Amino acid sequence: MAKGVVTEGTTAQGADRCSALRRAVRVSGPRPRPLAGLRFRSLRLPAATTWCWWLALGLIWLACTAADRLWLQLDQRLPAWDQAEYLNSAVDHGRALGLLPGGGWGGWGALLDLSPKIPPLASLVNGTVMGMAGDSPDQASWALSLWQALLLTVVACWGRQLVGPGFGLLSAALVGLTPALAALRVDFTLDLPLTAAATLALWLLGRWCAPAPSGGRWGQSLAAAAAIAAAVLVKQSALLVLALPCLWAIGTGLRQRPRRLQVLAALALVLAAVLPWLHHNWITTLGGTNRAVIESGTREGDPGPFSLASLLWYTRLGPEQLGMPLLAIGGLGGLLAWLRRLRRRSGPSGGLIGWGSGWGWLLGCALAGWLCTSLSPNKDPRYIAPVLPLLVLLLARGWWSLLHGIQANGIQTRWRGAAAAALLGIGLAGTAATTAVARIEQIEAQPGSPLVSVIAALRQQVANQPVTVVVIPTTASLNQHNVSSFGRLNGGQILGREIGKRKEEHPLVLEQAEWLLLASGDQGTERKASRRLSREVRRDGRFRRVGSWPWDRGREIELWRRRADAPPAGRFDQRFIALARGIKQGPAGLGAVFAAIGPQHQLDGHFLYQRRVNAWAWARLERNPSDPDALWSLGLLAVLRNRPSEADGWFSRLERLAPTNPWPSAYRAVVLLADWQAGQAAAVAQGASGRFEQPVLKALADLAGVLSGDLRRIQPARQSLPRAIRMVQAELEGEPESETESPQ
């Protein structure tokens, strides 16, 4: 009876609601069609089969690629500093994989050596594409088309998940027409690969974060973890976009018992993928990140991270990067949808963005990425690129709402589909025109320098021999990096290096340089020391001019070579052996190494001296296994080659050979710490500190103890570390001037 009473009441209430709904429909007009559909009343998008959807997406990619190839054909500029450096990295990795001439597989250690500051994944992919397409700059740009395909696919799939197939295609089309993203498709940097990889990671992570049963699956968690690891291995700045969403996902996942094990497994997968590279290159990565982010931002005068100007920095770039048509139509559509929601006073299910439908995740990721990127000290416009696809998806929702509103209201029924189609066409045409005008304005019909001719002339003389060219001019069209890019085409071994910024380096350049690239006039640099070095080379009788090529503003590029009858270029071998022997003195000897190695590596970009010294040292050890000069040389070589385990072996032998010298033990502890062997480093330093009264050993023992988990060493470390630092600084500052002179 009770059941019958409830049913009766419910039926009556339902009838009342139906009547009210019919009255509302009569007042407000025809019921709008659902947004998830693929068709307007007269504008039909391919939705009958899945292959039609993928075909439409492929056509969008083909249109973008065709526009990019046309732009590259018209633009004749040479790769600038960053672009050439990333090209060189791709060539390095392609050669290491045996896909490009001039290299071959040398093992995992040699492969990891090629990415000391930036992770290797993008260069591995780009190098693989170059192995098939070619290693010239335009041929290498096919790799960017591959990353663009990934970005379009992710955005289209994300849009299809949020609203429907048609919305996914619209979002992909808008991404293809966004001015800033279109510029990245022809700019050989890591920004487009990073944008594609980070967008993929956020989308997959959001799928896992969705409530069950649509989310929380094992496959989703592992796929998201793999995508996150891939994004970080493209470039570590992916953490600016991924850090906060990942922390949110970890926190929510750990609060749900069924997902805890998935969170731990995903973290293990990310660490397993990233740690091998990080373990090998963590020191150079920290140093490179500091220079590229903090020092670069300070040098360029960017605002402080927590200032209002910093928070608004990328906001003011929005119209230029996204384009006014995309912003205007998306903003108008979003505003109208919000006003309709206010007028209807509907619940959460009727709003523009429902937090349970995936829009909250998208909005949160966009805000988190914008905030973290704005807080970065370096404000290059390219750094906001990973956030742009998220913003385009949000703006595409405004486009979709506006099209839907035209369909549903205010126009006679037979014209609604045509009006929506016309608005869509006008909007896409306006967005495309804005992007096209911006790209056409950036076309440079001339290469900017005769670099290609210079390298061709040099290749005729040196063929594929390993050669280092000292490059004194430094401009976007002529610098050490693009000299290397063109010098290494088709298996070439010509490297460009820049040296001579300081007057103290000039005698070393004149003593050891074999090839130099000069320019008449101002050398393309404001450094007086570089212009002075150019004059010194011209006056020095040991060099002759091989050729000259017209440049710009009446200047010429000149190729100079050491004369055949001049004294041969000095070698660094004996100087290196003496420097290696000198590090047994501790910091005083290390100071001379630091002063000499940097300039030498600019003069010998192939590190040929290391091969010769290595062969000499092994030959000495065959005759005398306890030869100290050979052991010190091999130990220092292992440090410079980033082989801490090998360095530990050589310093261990020196420890036994010179039991009264504390520094082999100190060096062992340092390289063990660099190799993440904190426990072993603590044992070495602690044992040596018992034999020697050396503050550095005591500090290393305390530091290694803390890093190995002995928290009792924190307080002693707070006392011993400052004392050791002061001692090292005093020895470095007080070393004799003769120790830092360049080798003669």
- Compare 123 and 295 and report the one with higher pLDDT: 123
pLDDT band, residue 552 (cuts 50/70/90):
confident
pLDDT digits (tens, 9 = 90+) for 257-288: 999 999 999 999 999 999 999 999 999 999 88
Other Cβ atoms within 10 Å of 413 Cβ, number? 9
77-86 exposure pattern, b = at least 16 Cβ within 10 A, e = fewer: bbbbebbbbb
pLDDT digits (tens, 9 = 90+) for 627-637: 999 999 999 99
pLDDT of residue 380: 87
Q: Is the pLDDT of residue 471 over 50?
A: yes
Residue 53: HSE in the Cβ half-sphere, 13 Å Cα cutoff: 20
pLDDT of residue 414: 61
pLDDT digits (tens, 9 = 90+) for 74-86: 999 999 999 999 9
pLDDT of residue 20: 46
Helix, strand, coil shares, percent, the chain, to 5: 70, 5, 25
Share the mean pLDDT of the chain.
88
Q: Is the pLDDT of residue 681 over 80?
A: yes
Other Cβ atoms within 10 Å of 384 Cβ, number? 26
What DSSP line would sit under 180-237, residue for residue? HHHHHTTS-SSHHHHHHHHHHHHHHHHHHHSPTTTS--HHHHHHHHHHHHHHHHH-GG
pLDDT of residue 413: 59
Residues above pLDDT 70, as percent of the chain: 88
Break the chain into its structural domains and give their ranges.
Answer: 50-79+141-441, 451-562, 573-740
In this structure, what DSSP letter does residue 561 have?
E
Q: Is the pLDDT of residue 371 over 70?
A: yes
pLDDT of residue 586: 92
Q: Is 356 helix (H, G, I), strand (E, B) or coil?
A: coil
pLDDT of residue 526: 66
pLDDT of residue 42: 32
CB 365 within 8 A of CB 217: no
pLDDT digits (tens, 9 = 90+) for 161-190: 999 999 999 999 999 999 999 999 999 999
Q: Is the pLDDT of residue 421 over 70?
A: yes
pLDDT digits (tens, 9 = 90+) for 218-245: 999 999 999 999 999 999 999 999 999 9
For residue 559, give the H/E element and its range. strand 556-562
Non-local CB neighbours of 173 within 8 Å, separated by 6+ positions: 60, 428
CA angle 509, 510, 514 (to 5 degrees): 80
Residue range 712-730: mean pLDDT, rounded: 93
pLDDT of residue 418: 77
Residue in the block written with tokens 């299910």: 349
pTM for this model (two decimals): 0.88
pLDDT band, residue 290 (cuts 50/70/90):
confident
pLDDT of residue 598: 93
Residues 576, 449: Cα–Cα separation, whole Å: 37
Lay out the sheet containing 515-519: strands in order across.
Answer: 494-497, 467-471, 515-519, 556-562, 543-550
pLDDT band, residue 416 (cuts 50/70/90):
low
CB 94 within 8 A of CB 131: yes
pLDDT of residue 408: 65
Residues 506, 501: Cα–Cα separation, whole Å: 9
Q: Is the pLDDT of residue 737 over 80?
A: no
pLDDT digits (tens, 9 = 90+) for 94-122: 999 999 999 899 999 999 999 999 999 99
CA angle 445, 450, 525 (to 5 degrees): 100
pLDDT of residue 292: 77
Closest CA to 640 of 594, 599, 683: 594
* Residue 53 CA from chain centroid, whole number: 32
Give me 262's structure tokens. 């998935």
Residues 526, 474: Cα–Cα separation, whole Å: 10
Q: Is the pLDDT of residue 739 over 80?
A: no
In CATH, what number does 573-740 get?
A: 1.25.40.10
Going from the C-alpha of 427 to that of each of 173, 301, 423, 432, 676, the distances in angstroms are: 11, 38, 6, 9, 56
pLDDT of residue 345: 59
Give me 85's structure tokens. 């450096």
Residue range 48-53: mean pLDDT, rounded: 80
Residue range 425-438: mean pLDDT, rounded: 92
Other Cβ atoms within 10 Å of 150 Cβ, number? 18
- Compare 570 and 596 and report the one with higher pLDDT: 596
pLDDT band, residue 8 (cuts 50/70/90):
very low
Non-local CB neighbours of 176 within 8 Å, separated by 6+ positions: 60, 61, 63, 64, 148, 152, 182
Size of the chain, expressed as the number of residues it contains: 744
Residues above pLDDT 90, as percent of the chain: 72
pLDDT band, residue 57 (cuts 50/70/90):
very high
